[in-house]
Amino acid sequence: EAQVTQNPRYLITVTGKKLTVTCSQNMNHEYMSWYRQDPGLGLRQIYYSMNVEVTDKGDVPEGYKVSRKEKRNFPLILESPSPNQTSLYFCASSFGAGLEAFFGQGTRLTVV
């Protein structure tokens, strides 16, 4: 089954404790991206990657890192999480930026 898999689905952590949210897709998509979703603000793009070893900042990249060492994986790294990063995070993949995006089921992160 074609899918985007994020882990974990839920995470509660403390300020400053490094964490990684994994994202994997099995559709051989070139384009992958991370979003955060906050009430009233819609989906805001954090980082995106057009292909392996190519990553670019989205609209809200501060406090986040990503890597794209393999085509299928695109982990999101929070080196020192802060409470303002409490949010619902989505990973998405597609064959291109303007083409149908497939989303993971989301990771609800709480930073206390």
Partner 1 sequence: TQLLEQSPQFLSIQEGENLTVYCNSSSVFSSLQWYRQEPGEGPVLLVTVVTGGEVKKLKRLTFQFGDARKDSSLHITAAQPGDTGLYLCGSSNTGKLIFGQGTTLQVKP
Contact set with partner 1 (CB under 8 A): 4, 31, 33, 35, 40-45, 48, 50, 56, 58-59, 90, 92, 94, 96-106
Work out how close the CB of 83 gets to partner 1 at its nearest, in angstroms, rounded to a whole number: 23
Q: Closest CB to partner 1 among 14 and 41?
A: 41
Work out how close the CB of 28 gets to partner 1 at its nearest, in angstroms, rounded to a whole number: 18
DSSP state letters, 22-88: EEEESS--SEEEEEEEETTTEEEEEEEEEETTEEEE-S--TT-EE--SSSSB--EEESS--GGG-EE
Work out how close the CB of 64 gets to partner 1 at its nearest, in angstroms, rounded to a whole number: 15
Q: Closest CB to partner 1 among 14 and 27?
A: 27
* β pairing state of 102-103 and 42-51: unpaired
Work out how close the CB of 41 gets to partner 1 at its nearest, in angstroms, rounded to a whole number: 6
Inter-residue contact 6 to 23 (CB < 8 Å): yes
